A and B are shown apart, each in its own frame.
Chain A
């Protein structure tokens, strides 16, 4: 018994060392002689990348670093920017607040689970940033959070990418109409109702805004006698959307509903909107190109429900050729592990170039999340989120070797061990066998309102 205790104490000490080891690392590294895929400035042969304090300091040949800087020989390997997933539900304790068609007030940043092994597995697939989203149960769901995969921390806030602007989840079509219309006999029951919910919300928000403006104006005058309007987080969030302070990421499938929301946004002067999934985006590609921040699509998912029956795996190619800022997302703890392969499918379905294909998982999702100033390409001054592959990342045989976030190495294939969870959380309940079927959790926590179990 005593021996066991000692062992456990020893293990705990070792574990805390493991954790702090990563948390206290400085982001300094020199990666030498890689084929550097910059995304924005072409691909450079036999090139070094020097990282200081988590920022890309230099890109060139024969770069030197200080003595304490770790050097990685990447001869014959491929370095690309960390992969960015614009639609994920990774590392969240709960996905849906399915209590109302509008729940703009809730925030995913309140439910981050830093212990989720999926974060480590995403890193092992070269994914360094994910957009942790509210689910699609409501027409206007909660506010999402952009995460940097700094795995190995006990502090949920350390995962938040502080530079990222606010984003919010909208959802059209079957999911909100099933949850609220069929599940609860509440509007929306149809695509007409979905539009009505959004318009009603915006109109109420405008009234709320003008009530406050009126009161604030009166406050300037002397001797104000009226009480201020009652503060309402839900309506204030909608006001922030109308004021262009929040980027909408809208779960959508059919061309008609995409077209509807583009029109509504035009009417209310909203241009910060990204359509997500967008299986029929290809039908309204010119409109998406002209009026939106783009489309974030699946590589090839279709036919899992009726609203995605008329899909095409050529969607990303059609959108790209039409000038839409396009990204490929996972919406899945499984796909997030090989988004480089999902991007490669656009070469089979539509013949995109290497650069076009890799933009779908780097600079384009960065633009859609409003973080392209900081990440999404290998450029001096950008954050050093990097992944090293043994072969070209668009090859089926490519295996990610190392992944850095802010210049700190969080994954190394050579030192990968079973049960990485134990590095951060001993108390995590021991693992059940899981038949990996539904890895998609867009409708998680709203399942009680459903009769089936396929839910993106």
Chain B
């Protein structure tokens, strides 16, 4: 056996007592100078002067605790190098592939995963793209050796709502043509929907069915086993989508919603939750105010819409807190922006019994910081995911350690 040098620091589970912290519970206010006890991967207790037994004590004096952040829309884990087709696992052939599972393609060893989690983002929705029904998105926690270990307990089927607006400055189609294309695409979707309804009817009556994975998956949307995540961005398309879901008895989340601010009241009236972002992006039209995309989350939230945020990034999901910070500065306020990346997505994904806030009995997915995590100056000191202490290292940090001081060859 050759000499092997260096140590690998692995995530590990233990009982941790975090003492004298400022605890941002999200759901129960801010607790000054409190302790938080992690046992068996859960938040066992939050209180003052929790007695120390066989715990690893971490003194958090002058530091803050936050629940792990949730990014509600990414391709983290399913692409390694953006431009290399060999590493793009987010898109399957065909327009109708709702049965394609993002979770299947998640690479637990993706280099971007440790890069992301040291920023306090502990959980992300990772999603396929392309076509009418690109596949099924999955919530993943950013720790684990297999996709199964990483699975965060939520799946949703993605649908791209047909668009009737021009898609860019090179798109010169007439409004008539645009409408035609959109109508044609919606007809295709409606036919699929009817087919799925037929499939479900036969299935629920115990009839014999041929193997038809597309319909099998869509039928799970129709019987409310799985929610439908409808990607729609332009105001006109959003209004059309709201009409479309009126007569559908399914669980719907609208995603994207870049021009939601134009029709916020309609979205609020429909009572549909929204996942919007990135916040740090250009307005969708030249005629918009320069800050339209910064204001969008606040305007939606103030109209009464339930808003979660997303980055739509892969390697730079670590910018989620900065997207939230911009949303906060441009009208949303820190409290609501914090909710939009913690408890609100947890509620939308139906995992608020275990994630999204610091409460006794919830999973210990949280982090220690030396201040407001939206501020770039703030350092994240320690991250926990499901009670695992996450090593605060990644390739970016290791390169920093190696190259900060380097000899110059003569």
A454 neighbours in B (Cβ, 8 Å): 82-83
Q: Answer yes or no: B291 CB below 8 A from chain A CBs.
A: yes
Give the contact stretch, choosing among A141-149, A244-252, A344-352, A361-369: A344-352
Q: Answer yes or no: A24 CB below 8 A from chain B CBs.
A: no
- Asked if residues A428 and B376 are in contact (CB atoms below 8 Å), the reply is no
Least Cβ–Cβ distance between A234 and chain B, in angstroms? 31
Q: A317-B400, A433-B165 are in contact. Are A285 and B289 (CB under 8 A)?
A: no
A396 neighbours in B (Cβ, 8 Å): 322, 325-326, 328-329, 374-376
- Asked if residues A428 and B286 are in contact (CB atoms below 8 Å), the reply is yes
Q: A285-B403, A345-B376 are in contact. Are A421 and B287 (CB under 8 A)?
A: yes
Least Cβ–Cβ distance between A219 and chain B, in angstroms? 47
Q: Which of B165, B233, B280, B315 contacts A302 (CB 8 A)?
A: B315
- Asked if residues A350 and B400 are in contact (CB atoms below 8 Å), the reply is yes
Give the contact stretch, choosing among A9-17, A57-65, A164-172, A434-442: A434-442
Q: A286-B406, A454-B82 are in contact. Are A121 and B290 (CB under 8 A)?
A: yes
Q: Answer yes or no: A77 CB below 8 A from chain B CBs.
A: no
- Asked if residues A433 and B234 are in contact (CB atoms below 8 Å), the reply is yes
B406 neighbours in A (Cβ, 8 Å): 283, 285-286, 322
Give the contact stretch, choosing among B54-62, B166-174, B206-214: B166-174
- Asked if residues A310 and B280 are in contact (CB atoms below 8 Å), the reply is no
Closest-by-CB residue of A relative to B237 is: A433
Within 8 A of A (CB), among B265-291: 280-291
Task: Give complex CA distance A429, B399 in Å.
Answer: 48
Jot down 28 A-B pairs with beta carbons below 8 A, ordered by A: A124-B291, A282-B399, A304-B315, A309-B81, A312-B395, A314-B396, A314-B400, A318-B403, A341-B322, A341-B326, A344-B376, A347-B377, A348-B378, A394-B376, A394-B377, A396-B376, A398-B329, A399-B329, A416-B291, A418-B288, A419-B287, A428-B286, A430-B287, A431-B287, A432-B165, A432-B169, A433-B165, A434-B284
Q: A396-B329, A418-B288, A432-B171 are in contact. Are A341 and B376 (CB under 8 A)?
A: yes
Q: Which of A120, A345, A348, A433 contacts B284 (CB 8 A)?
A: A433
A226 neighbours in B (Cβ, 8 Å): none
Chain B residues with a Cβ closer than 8 Å to the other chain, count: 59
Q: Answer yes or no: B301 CB below 8 A from chain A CBs.
A: no
Q: Answer yes or no: A452 CB below 8 A from chain B CBs.
A: yes
Closest-by-CB residue of B relative to A122 is: B290
A416 neighbours in B (Cβ, 8 Å): 289-291
- Asked if residues A303 and B111 are in contact (CB atoms below 8 Å), the reply is yes
A302 neighbours in B (Cβ, 8 Å): 315-316, 396
- Asked if residues B81 and A305 are in contact (CB atoms below 8 Å), the reply is yes
- Asked if residues A435 and B81 are in contact (CB atoms below 8 Å), the reply is no
B399 neighbours in A (Cβ, 8 Å): 282, 310-312, 314
Q: Which of A318, A338, A452 contacts B400 (CB 8 A)?
A: A318
Interface string of A327-363 (1 = CB under 8 A from B): 0000001100110010011011111000000000000
Closest-by-CB residue of B relative to A337 is: B290
Q: Answer yes or no: A321 CB below 8 A from chain B CBs.
A: yes
Closest-by-CB residue of B relative to A321 is: B404
Closest-by-CB residue of B relative to A453 is: B83
- Asked if residues B284 and A436 are in contact (CB atoms below 8 Å), the reply is yes
Q: A344-B377, A348-B377 are in contact. Are A314 and B397 (CB under 8 A)?
A: yes
Least Cβ–Cβ distance between B70 and chain A, in angstroms? 19
- Asked if residues B315 and A348 are in contact (CB atoms below 8 Å), the reply is no
Least Cβ–Cβ distance between B162 and chain A, in angstroms? 13
A322 neighbours in B (Cβ, 8 Å): 406
Q: Answer yes or no: B112 CB below 8 A from chain A CBs.
A: yes
Least Cβ–Cβ distance between A124 and chain B, in angstroms? 4
Least Cβ–Cβ distance between B403 and chain A, in angstroms? 5
Task: Give complex CA distance A311, B397 in Å.
Answer: 10
Closest-by-CB residue of A relative to B259 is: A433
- Asked if residues A312 and B408 are in contact (CB atoms below 8 Å), the reply is no
Task: Give complex CA distance A321, B401 in Å.
Answer: 13
- Asked if residues A397 and B290 are in contact (CB atoms below 8 Å), the reply is no
Q: Is the interface of B mostly helix, strand, loop or mixed?
A: loop
Closest-by-CB residue of A relative to B282 is: A436
Interface string of A92-130 (1 = CB under 8 A from B): 000000000000000000000000010011001000000
Closest-by-CB residue of A relative to B400 is: A314
B85 neighbours in A (Cβ, 8 Å): 452
Task: Give complex CA distance A350, B258 in Å.
Answer: 33
Q: A312-B395, A344-B377, A396-B375 are in contact. Are A419 and B286 (CB under 8 A)?
A: yes
Closest-by-CB residue of A relative to B289 is: A418
Interface string of A47-58 (1 = CB under 8 A from B): 000000000000
Q: Answer yes or no: B25 CB below 8 A from chain A CBs.
A: no
Nearest 4 interchain pairs by C-beta: A432-B166, A396-B325, A314-B400, A344-B376
- Asked if residues B82 and A433 are in contact (CB atoms below 8 Å), the reply is no
- Asked if residues A304 and B83 are in contact (CB atoms below 8 Å), the reply is yes
Task: Give complex CA distance A309, B207 in Å.
Answer: 52
Q: A282-B399, A286-B406, A300-B319 are in contact. Are A452 and B280 (CB under 8 A)?
A: no
Task: Give complex CA distance A37, B85 in Å.
Answer: 46
Q: Known contacts A124-B290, A285-B406, A318-B404; can you find 9 more A-B pairs with CB under 8 A?
A: A120-B290, A302-B316, A311-B396, A318-B403, A337-B290, A347-B376, A395-B375, A435-B233, A436-B284
Task: Give complex CA distance A316, B82 in Å.
Answer: 23
Q: Answer yes or no: B336 CB below 8 A from chain A CBs.
A: no
Interface string of B290-317 (1 = CB under 8 A from A): 1101000000000000000000001110
Q: Which of B280, B285, B329, B408 contacts A397 (CB 8 A)?
A: B329
Closest-by-CB residue of A relative to B110 is: A303
Kindly name the residue among B83, B169, B291 whose own CB sees the greatest number of chain A CB atoms within 10 A.
Answer: B83
Q: Answer yes or no: A301 CB below 8 A from chain B CBs.
A: yes
Task: Give complex CA distance A395, B112 in Å.
Answer: 26
Least Cβ–Cβ distance between A306 and chain B, in angstroms? 5
Closest-by-CB residue of A relative to B171 is: A432
Q: Answer yes or no: B318 CB below 8 A from chain A CBs.
A: yes
Within 8 A of B (CB), among A402-456: 416-421, 428-436, 439, 452, 454
- Asked if residues B315 and A303 are in contact (CB atoms below 8 Å), the reply is yes
Q: Which of B284, B316, B403 contacts A300 (CB 8 A)?
A: B316
B403 neighbours in A (Cβ, 8 Å): 282-283, 285, 312, 318
- Asked if residues A348 and B80 are in contact (CB atoms below 8 Å), the reply is no
Least Cβ–Cβ distance between B398 and chain A, in angstroms? 8
Q: Which of B81, B259, B377 contacts A303 (CB 8 A)?
A: B81
Q: Answer yes or no: A271 CB below 8 A from chain B CBs.
A: no
Q: Answer yes or no: B330 CB below 8 A from chain A CBs.
A: yes
Q: Answer yes or no: A287 CB below 8 A from chain B CBs.
A: yes
Q: A314-B400, A397-B325, A397-B328 are in contact. Are A418 and B316 (CB under 8 A)?
A: no
Q: Answer yes or no: B379 CB below 8 A from chain A CBs.
A: yes
A434 neighbours in B (Cβ, 8 Å): 167-169, 282, 284-285
Closest-by-CB residue of A relative to B286 is: A431
Least Cβ–Cβ distance between B295 and chain A, in angstroms? 11
Least Cβ–Cβ distance between B105 and chain A, in angstroms? 17
A452 neighbours in B (Cβ, 8 Å): 83, 85
- Asked if residues B289 and A305 are in contact (CB atoms below 8 Å), the reply is no
Within 8 A of B (CB), among A268-294: 282-283, 285-287, 290
B81 neighbours in A (Cβ, 8 Å): 303-306, 309
